[in-house]
Chains A and B, each alone.
Chain A
Amino acid sequence: MDTAVPTQPVLVDVSACRQAYHKDASADLVVLDDVNLTLREGEIVALLGRSGSGKSTLLRIVSGLLKPTSGAVTWRGAPVTGPTEGVAMVFQSFALFPWLTVQENVELGLEARGVPKSKREELSEQAIDMIGLGGFENAYPKELSGGMRQRVGLARALVVHPDLLLMDEPFSALDVLTAETLRTDLIDLWVDGKLPVKSVLMVTHNIEEAVLMCDRILVFSSNPGRVASELVVPFAHPRNRLDPAFRQMVDDIYALMTRRPAPEHKVAAAAAVSPLAMPLHRVGTNIMAGLMETLAGEPYNGRADLPALAGALQYEVDDLLPLGETLQMLGFALLEEGDITLADTGRRFVEADVDERKSLFTEAIRQHVPLVKMIRQVLDERWNHRASAVRFRDELEDHMSPEYAEDTLRTVIGWGRYAELFSYDEEAEQFSLEDIE
């Protein structure tokens, strides 16, 4: 594609956008912080990031479904105040109305605009044929496979000839082969100029998908969501996944996403330092042990390239990175430049038996997870060795969103039980030292 895009007219401009959820009197929970985005006609742009990096939130802000806490959003120069007419959206969950046929679903957007029936039928037939749904007009969504359902979702969005097509992880609910077919079909239509849209903005956590389809990639960092870097993909369509330059770019993005936050951010974060301001991923002990064993064995022998590992394990970046980061946080492994390396403790863990593994793990979480240390300390101090989980959850929620707090607490409960540091009574929501020697 030509890279002279900057001469094209601007569709969307987002500047200094910030989205925060206000929780009681405590500090705001910042989902998006100081995000800038300019989208011009004629480009496909990816918002790439992990879950929780606010990329879907940004998509909804662009579409006008959500109003940002602060910052300006303009559509063709005019401020966005509600759902924008020139924007159509494709959903990860397809979001088809189960009581409408394929044709009725596709016509819905036209009906809302008051397009007369004959014109609706003509347009919907065009869209249905273009997207490869011909013959399925009278089927109900539940009769279709996932791939066919997402084609309906695409046809429904395209039939209104939107200037901007928004796609929220459109292929992540599909199996690998189906997703690939849909991606190439869409790109073919785009390259041939048959897609009745001016621009596409898509959210994804699949690095290869972003490199395969897009002209520009905005990589998001998490918590709060920021644009960590912006990359231009220089390859012409059709792109070849096996091309060394393509592989190199994927590797580079992996490296970018595993890079530790820049020092300036760290200083800023340290200002609000609290042992509880550390969200944990919901990573269980079995999967950690499994990854360490895999890394220790052939062919990795303690060191693996993340994209290759993800491919071999059929994991997406969203599955693998939290796992790797957790291992790194606990001192079992090291993430660097898109590689993961097993540390000494990790190697010892792999070679240990059940009891030794437990004591290594206990050591690791006591040392690296302040929340674990704090819970145990409170339990030791109390004369009845009991403590309500509600209290810890409330404190966590002062530093993170309720969902993160819940995940973090769940993770700590699982880890603490495995390490036999404390036990937990789900019904009473209490930590205790019962059955712990």
Chain B
Amino acid sequence: MRANAIPSMAASWRLPNIWDAVAFVCVIGALIAFGHVAKGTLVPIDAPGATEISLDPANLPSYALRTTLRMFAALAASLLFTFTYGTAAAKSRRAALVLVPVLDVLQSVPILGFLTFTVVFFMSLFPGKVLGLELAAIFAIFTSQAWNMAFSMYQSLRTVPADLQECATSFQLTGWQKFWRLEVPFAMPGLVWNTMMSMSGGWFFVVASEAVTVGDNNWKLPGIGSYVAVALEQSDIVAVFWAIMAMLLVILAYDQLLFRPLVAWSAEFRFETTAGATASDPWMLRLIRRTRILKMIGDAIGDAAVWFGGLPIAFQRKPSAQQAQPSRIVDAIYGVILAALVLLALRKAYDLASETLSWHDVGEASLLGLFTMVRVAVLMVVASLIWVPIGVWFGLRPVWARRAQPVAQFLAAFPANLLFPPFVLTIVYFHLSPDIWLTPLMVLGTQWYILFNVIAGAAAYPGDLQEVAKNFRIGGWLWWRTVIIPGIFPYYVTGAITASGGSWNAAIVAEVASWGDTKLHAHGLGAYIADATDKGDLPHVVLGVVVMSLFVVLFNRLLWRPMYAYAQRRFTLA
């Protein structure tokens, strides 16, 4: 209770108080900073300072701010995408036929490989302006955030309880009203959680996408990612350290200021109460609820949202009692259009491939894919061997689990590419083999998913089963085999799926690394894509990305999905 002392004191003051003053200054500061950044994006790209990076740590706060704002711009786009794409997929049978599998594939495509080409595209939209580069970076982040958010929305919309649906219909809510009053609130807990996960993934991309090379041009958007890129070029380890510190602070800030309150707030929308989800309110939420001005702002936003959601917009006439039979003719037309699109896409792909690619290229890419797959598999095994016992140890001790869980989540959010330089430096210094020693970098940022899922699983392990184990004095390997591992397995698989997917993506930045003039190069599909991107060789990038997507999809379909289904079927409690 000690930690809550300040907000509960704030509770008894009704006049504007010190917290109002603090809040006021913060809001003004945020507005000024935002304006500053917005102005920067319209500057011509060649203007002095527009794409210059200085390694002076004094610049880091403004770099950090711009990086963060990119994140949130992408987040806004992702939310828009989620509400439209996810809803369309859930509401329309015909749309779902295409949208759902497309989303599934998009989740597995390493968009990082396309970065160069999206930059060219957005630059051509705003010739000579920084805005084009900004949009390209935001798009890259968007592609790392949007898919799982849309999926979460889709799944929530599919599972809205029938009685609530009927209730909404009987009150004659329009489609719009029903969406905001019932469906969005119902989807909220899952959506907030996935948004948080997306943010974690996004940091990785924002750092990777700020410094872009297209042909001979080398642009660097002001931001932490560019700062690190320059530090690498100039072999400045102190600057790298400063960047890591800045990033730590930024992530800590948005985690405390935004996501903790959001997650706690979204718990109100939880349809069924799951045990153990009653963490005390984060201090920021208390502050918002108890500070007069913040509360007024919050209430105003709430009122606006209520008004917005209550608009009597109807997309179709009043829902009729009987469902109309789906028209076979429309189905047929729809099918023909789809078939035409698929043929067109095949034709385009064939054209691109036949001009420059040979079967030899395909074979090479596949072989390199195998190398990377071996890396990912080995990493998963090693990371599991390390983190499962540690996670179980923490999870079975409630006090430690409470302490370790946020740390693990925090580490998962930290963009691991910022941590690459010290590793690279070590490899260079000891003349280690890049093929082996670059590998751990792939799992650097993603291993934490295994850890915090295992902690969650062990923490949720039923006390009575633990007592049985003690009562029958089950110990050693028998305990691991029959008591604990099956109990945490569903959680472990969830974490491992995320970790393995992330590692594939990370291969593109982890299999090639540089320090000053030294280039480290491992054999693998990630390096293949990175090299092709450097050369601006579109066909080979496409080939590499397609092969990698195939590997990821197959990995998921043949290994993780069956494992997850088995875990769900056999190992879930209750």
State the A residues within 8 Å of B (CB). Answer: 60, 63, 65, 83, 85, 87-89, 91, 93, 95, 97-100, 104, 108-109, 111-113, 140, 160, 382, 384, 386, 388, 390, 394, 427-428, 430
Contact = CB atoms under 8 A, between A and B. Distances in A.
A98 B11 CA distance: 47
A111 B471 CA distance: 13
B473 A89 contact: no
Q: Give the interface SS of chain B, mostly helix, strand, loop or mixed.
A: helix
A95 B468 CA distance: 7
Contacts of A104: 482
A83 B473 contact: yes
24 contacts: A63-B471, A83-B470, A83-B473, A85-B473, A88-B471, A91-B464, A95-B462, A95-B465, A97-B483, A97-B486, A98-B572, A99-B570, A100-B482, A104-B482, A108-B468, A108-B482, A112-B474, A112-B475, A140-B570, A384-B12, A427-B289, A428-B289, A428-B290, A430-B11
A112 B478 contact: yes
B486 A99 contact: yes
A390 B467 contact: no
Nearest to B268: A427
A199 B573 CA distance: 32
B352 to A, nearest CB: 49
B4 interface: yes
A112 B472 contact: yes
B8 interface: yes
A99 B12 CA distance: 53
A345 B444 CA distance: 71
Contacts of B242: none
Contacts of A95: 462, 464-465, 467-468
Interface of B: 1, 4, 8, 11-12, 14, 281, 289-290, 462, 464-465, 467-468, 470-475, 478, 482-483, 486-487, 570-574
Nearest to B476: A112
A140 B574 CA distance: 12
Contacts of B11: 386, 388, 428, 430
Given A65-B471, A95-B467, A388-B12, 16 more contacts: A60-B467, A83-B471, A83-B473, A88-B472, A89-B468, A91-B468, A97-B482, A97-B486, A98-B571, A99-B486, A111-B474, A112-B473, A384-B12, A386-B11, A427-B289, A428-B290
Contacts of A388: 8, 11-12
B109 to A, nearest CB: 35
Contacts of B478: 111-112
A63 B472 CA distance: 10
A384 B8 CA distance: 14
Contact of A386 (B12, B281, B467): B12
Contacts of B487: 99
Contact of A65 (B290, B470, B570): B470
Nearest to A85: B473
Given A99-B486, A390-B8, A93 B464 contact: yes
Nearest to B475: A112
A108 B464 contact: no
Given A93-B464, A428-B289, A99 B471 contact: no
A75 to B, nearest CB: 14
Contacts of A63: 471
B296 to A, nearest CB: 15
Contacts of B482: 97, 99-100, 104, 108, 111
A271 B113 CA distance: 76
Contacts of A88: 471-472
Contact of B471 (A89, A98, A428): A89
Given A65-B471, A83-B471, A112-B472, A97 B8 contact: no
A112 B476 CA distance: 9
Contacts of B290: 428
A58 to B, nearest CB: 15
Contacts of B468: 89, 91, 95, 97, 108
A91 B14 contact: no
A391 to B, nearest CB: 8
A108 B482 CA distance: 9
A98 B1 CA distance: 38
A428 B10 CA distance: 11
- Top 5 nearest A-B pairs (CB, nearest first) are A95-B464, A99-B486, A109-B472, A112-B474, A89-B471
